[in-house]
Amino acid sequence: SSEVLEAIENVIQGILQSLAQKKAPVLTVANRRDWRNIEFKDSVGLQMIPHCTTKQIRSDCPQSAPRFALTLKILSMIYKMVQSNTYATKRDIYYSDTLLFGSQSAVDSIINDISCMLKIPRRSLHILSTTKGFVAGNLSYTEEDGTKVNCTCSATVCIIKQKDLNRKDLISHAKFVLIVEKDATFQRLLDDDFFNKVSPCIMITGRGVPDLNTRLLVRKLWDSFQIPIFSLMDADPHGVEIMCVYKYGSVSMSFEAHHLTVPSIKWLGLLPSDLKRLNISKDALIPFTKQDQNKLASIQKRPYIACQPLWKKELEIMAASKLKAEIQVLTSLSQDYLSRVYLPNKLQFGGWV
């Protein structure tokens, strides 16, 4: 807490010094979305370089003055919350003055800029993410009020909460973690009681692009248990992109890579090569859109693909076919093919890349 308060005080002190010298105050923020500021390391993923290019949020420029004011407003809210040991979600901050902030995305972007500028993880700023991720399987822990949470019962799906990410009492006998891209597939595996039938495991879904809490939990499970982590995604550029976020991180959050990425994650499925191997009918596949082609071309150029020859091969198969498939395509073989045949065989015979 004292570190956060001191960091904010230093920013305000800089502004006061500028005003005392009759200069327009300026906030200097790293260019988080610029690939030139990012380096790739096998052991960490995408991380921000120490001396990166920056942008200035000026108080005397019509284009940036509103953002300058909103940044100070959110800094003052963070300062009060840290002092009083209270918390707010990003939505709470936006709805505290919707006219002033304009949009939720503007608030989210400023909070990430502040975290990067202060060099303090976002969760230490007393700002909570509204969680959308779920976890189920061989995992149990005790909540702060003494409530025992057991995700092992197939009827129990736990929402991933930020306060649970600091716990040290996680208990699990899982043999692996399975990250599932979509909620529908996650629910299907729950209905089939998958995590009890094959071998004990933990299943997680970020329900699409994962939020911060879901990524933190995956990292925490890796740190705590050191068990294999597999990803189950659609065989399309969007699914590959989501898997890369879990494994290597995102450009915009590269300043927090050390806490968020798990480079050991394996791509279990759905692999483009699986579609041919399983004789999936072309009628069941979906043609690429222009957006898909652009997304795939962008992924193929990324630095981490060069050190993943098997991934590179899978992406080349996808690019050559210009066809994509959702995991649900496996139901064309049989309703429970995913949990009864596909995943057990993959896990037993090492069908991942």
**Distance of CA 173 to CAs 70, 104, 137, 176, 199, Å?**
47, 40, 10, 9, 10
Question: CB neighbours (10 Å) of residue 292?
Answer: 19
- Find, among 5, 6, 11, the residue nearest to 25 by Cα: 11
CA distance 103 to 286: 34
**Distance of CA 2 to CAs 8, 89, 113, 227, Å?**
10, 21, 20, 36
The active-site residue, picked from 87, 94, 95, 337, is 95
95 as an active site residue: the answer is yes
User: Phi first, then psi: what are they for 51, rounded to 5°?
Assistant: -110, 80
CA distance 172 to 152: 9
Please work out, in degrees rounded to the nearest 5, the angle formed at the alpha carbon of residue 26 by the alpha carbons of 25 and 32: 160
Residues belonging to the active site: 95
